[in-house]
Structure 1
């Protein structure tokens, strides 16, 4: 049996590669006579860029950039396709993992460092930019990136605004000093959510609390993004608040779409095409995927859905492994997943469950392999 193992990352516990290797280890310990191919996937979340660079045997380029609070760190991006395409992982410069949980503050954190990575890629002469924007610590609408590219955000006195909490004072956006090289690049932003920029389902309300925002901070951030959107509409004619995927990464997707013509795409669809997943799935007899939680939200562009959808095009059986699955049978999920298995080995608090992800995946895959021999 040829088994294609294609999980997404198990958030806060195992990256996608680690998850794939754990599943493979379990299967190989079982009685199942199988050949396993590991094909870890990413849907735009943290780690997606690294997987794409590896799949293309890309070149890593190191760059000194600002972290979310302006402190100098060493970061990197990847070059693939003979140096024509740069793959930039936002989390490498503006990531939440770069900040201690107690220090998170999206009223101050900016995406400026990611913009510095883009400038470094332009200096290499790239013609295409691919941005994986998951895992950021910011809710700045992409203003930090745009500032690094030369855009100035000004208040009524002509003073430059540099922090997200100041965006409510915004009256004018000066694009006269924008680095024109960016407009000659094809820019693709990988998004793993469909949320728009503003409101109850917007970037501040949904993602702000994950990045340290208090209820009061969420209101300030949403108000600042609303002001940004209103000024942008007046100057560009583009309604940032109406853009699908616009709320991804604290509004980075909306800001880059509006000011540098970035194309916003479903992350897993782009990833699977870019890494030639169809060639791998064509030789498989069984597909195993997974991530921390599989539920109806998974069907809105998450990694396991992208994998399962393509497998089902070939009528292949699909098994989904997750830390959490729905209690009730779900007809919509049943169309794409033949079996959903929760990997937990017993009642446990979240910290314990996360720490045991690898062992639980190995054990579940081992049992699964034995079952498949029957």
Structure 2
């Protein structure tokens, strides 16, 4: 008897995109259950791959090329995504990872990497006349509080002598004033931050402490970066007061302010609002409607662990499937948390015999996982 299967994985970071993961799972599933109807709905949570996931779900999506300033000052050729909503709304999707992402750096530059290119890509979408922005901010290379993006959007950040500060977190240490009068307004429908991170900007759970080491910072550098971010908060607050802004500067304790090296904080200062990246992507690709007509859902990610419950793709897909009364299965490169709510689960590491082998041939083992899951589901 033919069944409808929805495949909604996240990317397997560094080894397989969400779209490629879904295709490999589909190939394996077809080997075991060729009569089943398989629908791919690759997912993302606001990090790298968000543009790809949204583009895959909309044949009319347009990638709009743009050259921006990369996180180390070198030019980067990237694109933002233009979508048309059901009501004709012109949507622009801008992904930080492709303009100011950590994969663009070698070596890492924890004090000097910046988000200027991300702001330039946002400006390009504004120039094209979008009605609303979706801003995917995972995968950042920097800890500049989003000041680079704000300056690309028209803010002016200066030191005590009135000169522009250097890009990156290092420049925050010299920051004396921020002039906001030239900051470009939001598009008519506003801007939405897509992220799975709820960390505050400062302190032991903040941008520098939690994510700085991933960006090349040692303990002393982390402390320095956190102090520089705190200076940014103070100066920005004065900038809001000087501009007689209709709202106060965002609080550094705001959940998500520490996302993407504090880019979440900078975007909140611009006036953007923050939402769960996975939930927003799920809504944009019509995941609930697809699942409502399904018999089985399969989701996955590179590592399923305790953090997976905090707004990651598998938790979002699982919640949507369970709400619809549809069983959901899990595939992950490694599984380090309970999987009780899933009807079946496959670890690529266990399937392949080692983590190294699973990472070396991820698509192969995803296909094998698809075949195994199809058999387990068929067996009840």
Q: Is the 8 A contact 2:19 2:56 kept in 1?
A: no
- Structure 1 residue 337: deviation in Å? 2.2
Equivalence for 2:177: 172
Equivalence for 2:332: 322
Deviates more, 1:70-79 or 1:138-147: 70-79
- Structure 1 residue 346: deviation in Å? 4.9
Q: Is the 8 A contact 1:111 1:140 kept in 2?
A: yes
Q: Which runs of 5+ in 1 are unaligned?
A: none
Q: Is the 8 A contact 1:32 1:369 kept in 2?
A: no
Give the superposed CA RMSD. 1.8
2:11 pairs with 1:9: yes
- Structure 1 residue 182: deviation in Å? 3.1
- After TM superposition, the structure 1 = structure 2 runs for residues 324-339 of structure 1, keeping only pairs within 5 Å, are 324-326=334-336, 330=338, 333-334=339-340, 336-339=341-344
- Structure 1 residue 121: deviation in Å? 1.2
- After TM superposition, the structure 1 = structure 2 runs for residues 1-374 of structure 1, keeping only pairs within 5 Å, are 1-31=3-33, 33-56=35-58, 57-81=60-84, 84-100=90-106, 103-163=107-167, 164-179=169-184, 181-182=185-186, 184=188, 186-236=190-240, 237-258=248-269, 260-326=270-336, 330=338, 333-334=339-340, 336-344=341-349, 345-348=351-354, 350-374=355-379
- Structure 1 residue 277: deviation in Å? 1.1
Q: Which runs of 5+ in 2 are unaligned?
A: 241-247
- Structure 1 residue 198: deviation in Å? 1.1
Determine the C-alpha separation between the residues in 2 that align with 1:183 and 1:33: 47
- Structure 1 residue 47: deviation in Å? 0.8
Deviates more, 1:117-126 or 1:80-89: 80-89
Determine the C-alpha separation between the residues in 2 that align with 1:50 and 1:366: 25
Determine the C-alpha separation between the residues in 2 that align with 1:372 and 1:213: 46
Determine the C-alpha separation between the residues in 2 that align with 1:229 and 1:308: 38
- Structure 1 residue 227: deviation in Å? 0.9
Q: Is the 8 A contact 2:144 2:261 kept in 1?
A: yes
Q: Is the 8 A contact 2:126 2:187 kept in 1?
A: no
- Structure 1 residue 184: deviation in Å? 4.4
Number of matched residues?
A: 364
- Structure 1 residue 73: deviation in Å? 2.3
Q: Is the 8 A contact 1:153 1:162 kept in 2?
A: no
Determine the C-alpha separation between the residues in 1 that align with 2:302 and 2:214: 16
Determine the C-alpha separation between the residues in 2 that align with 1:114 and 1:32: 44
Give the ranges of 4+ consecutive aligned residues of structure 1 lying more than 4 Å apart after TM superposition. Answer: none
TM normalised by structure 1 equals 0.92
2:365 match: secondary structure: helix
2:252 match: secondary structure: helix
- Structure 1 residue 239: deviation in Å? 4.2
- Structure 1 residue 316: deviation in Å? 1.1
TM normalised by structure 2 equals 0.91
